[in-house]
Amino acid sequence: MNTATDTRHLTPALSNKELDARRVAATPRGVGIGTPMYADRALNAELWDVEGRRFIDFAAGIAVLNTGHRHPKLIAAIQAQLERFTHTAYQVVPYESSVHLAERLNALTPGSHAKKTAFFTTGAEAVENAIKIARAHTRRPGVIALTGAFHGRTFMGMALTGKVVPYKVGFGPFPGSIFHVPAPTELHEVTVQDTLNAIQQIFKCDIEPTQVAAIILEPVQGEGGFYVMPSELMVALRALCDQHSILLIADEIQTGFARTGKMFAMDHHSVVPDLMTMAKSLAGGMPLSAVCGRAEVMDAPAPGGLGGTYAGNPLAIASAHAVLDVLEEEKLCERAERLGQVLKARLESLRTKVPQIAEIRGLGAMVAVEFNKADGSPDPEFTKLVQKRALDAGLILLTCGVYVNVIRFLFPLTIEDAVLAEGLDILATAMTA
């Protein structure tokens, strides 16, 4: 057998253009690409492409890098685990680090009740398993989600997602017994009462509450537009779920791990969910997700009903331990709150120059700006223009929203003040040019 190392895949192309031509030829168009450049290296909130050009990263791998690119503590933790073992399959030969991480998350998540945590690989996988657990515990099929929600690209994830383009187009039919109600959004004049009324309408017209297993929602909608769910809604949903023995599931995949100024977005509310899904910044770039919930609920599936070959990979587990250490040691919850205030203040200062600004919103450093036209309709064209201008000037931004008229900000919480200021200057120019 030829043991020579093939390094062709490590050799960067001469240009982004050449690499992109290879991508188009080798990979399907269904995997959308947001930027025309290819990464070569990164550090904290900065990224360099294969042509040596520097970018400030306000996307952070879609909220994955709250602790930044290549945090030294994460690198050290992964390297140390590499010296021990890289894979056993937890269900075949378990390891203490996974048990310890479950114990840490059980203690960190909202509520003082007995909890258990199971690990998986992706956010969509966590959502799938949360629904499996809810159905196993309640012996009911129905699930209620919100419009604008994003819960993944698997079939159950797509069914729960409340946005058709691009996530659902051409992929139906989807799993049944999934229902959607409007998400309360003050800007669009949808109230909490509208949401609650829609749930009652479902109970009257579609499925009786005794057949509903769970209500799932993001405390701050991610792909949907960074709409913050009001505490009034959370309290009402908790009471409704308790009344009908329905489980409340909080999807904290994008909101978790200090992004909103608290460890979890549900910490902003007086009620606790029965189940929580986590992923993204849990392991700082390593593939890891989790479902944490009430012990009696988590124990509903029989042995073998949960798991996965790569679920709770030891390298990702090691990285997650380092993430939790960094969040505490560097006080990133407090820093997220301060960074968010800086960002909001800068955006507010641009209102007089940018009439397209309809709303600035968010919790902590999970902030978004929504753009509308003069007649109040969504302005995705201006949103795309701002994103392009920023990228041309070296700043990576993400859009979101059902009408793609929102820019969301997800820079690492470890971003240096000077780099943040530089990025905000680029943003201001892109919005006012």
Taking only the tens place, the pLDDT of each residue in 104-123 is 999 999 999 999 999 999 99
**Same structural domain, 371 and 319:** no
pLDDT score for 13? 52
Provide the β-strand partners of residue 119: 290
From 286, 314, 329, the end of a domain falls on: 329
pLDDT at 10: 53
- Which regions in the chain score pLDDT beneath 50? 1-8
Q: Closest Cα to residue 337, out of 228, 413, 422, 237?
A: 413
Q: How many domains does the chain have?
A: 2
Do 288 and 141 reside in the same domain of the chain? Answer: yes
Cα angle 359-124-21, degrees, rounded to a multiple of 5: 80
Residues 349 and 269 in one domain: no
- Between the alpha carbon of residue 67 and those of residues 122, 259, 347, 362, the distances in Å are 18, 10, 24, 19
Query: What span, in angstroms and rounded, lies between the C-alpha atoms of 210 and 214?
Result: 11
Residues 155 and 91 in one domain: yes
How far from chain centre, in Å, is Cα 364?
Answer: 15
Q: What share of the chain is helix, strand, coil (3-state, %, to 5)?
A: 40, 20, 40
Residue 54, number of CB atoms within 10 A of its CB: 9
- CATH code, 366: 3.90.1150.10
Would residue 223 count as lying in a domain? yes
Domain boundary among 303, 329, 355: 329
Same domain, 285 and 417: no
- Number of Cβ within 10 Å of residue 179's Cβ equals 21
pLDDT for 14: 80
The enclosing domain of 322 has a CATH number of 3.40.640.10
Instruction: Report DSSP state, residue 373.
Output: -
Summarize pLDDT for 225-282 with one digit per residue, the tens.
999 999 999 999 999 999 999 999 999 999 999 999 999 999 999 999 999 999 999 9
340 and 317 belong to one structural domain: no
Q: Are residues 377 and 228 in the same domain?
A: no
Residue 155, domain member (yes or no): yes
- Residues 56 and 97 placed together within one structural domain of the fold: no
| 425 falls within a domain | yes
Report CA 18 to chain centroid distance, whole Å: 31
Task: Tell me, yes or no, whether 4 lies in a domain.
Answer: no
Q: What is the predicted pLDDT for the residue at 327?
A: 98
Residue 118 located in a structural domain:
yes
Residue 1 forms part of a structural domain = no
Same domain, yes or no: 235 and 378 = no
Q: Structural domain of residue 428, as residue ranges?
A: 12-70+331-432
Domain boundary among 329, 345, 374: 329
Residues 146 and 188 occupy one common structural domain: yes
CA–CA distances in Å: residue 147 to residues 101, 119, 221, 222, 224: 33, 27, 10, 12, 8
Indicate whether 319 and 339 sit together in one domain. Answer: no
- Structural domain contains residue 386: yes
Residue 84 lies in a domain: yes
- Judgement on whether residues 149 and 267 belong to the same structural domain of the protein: yes
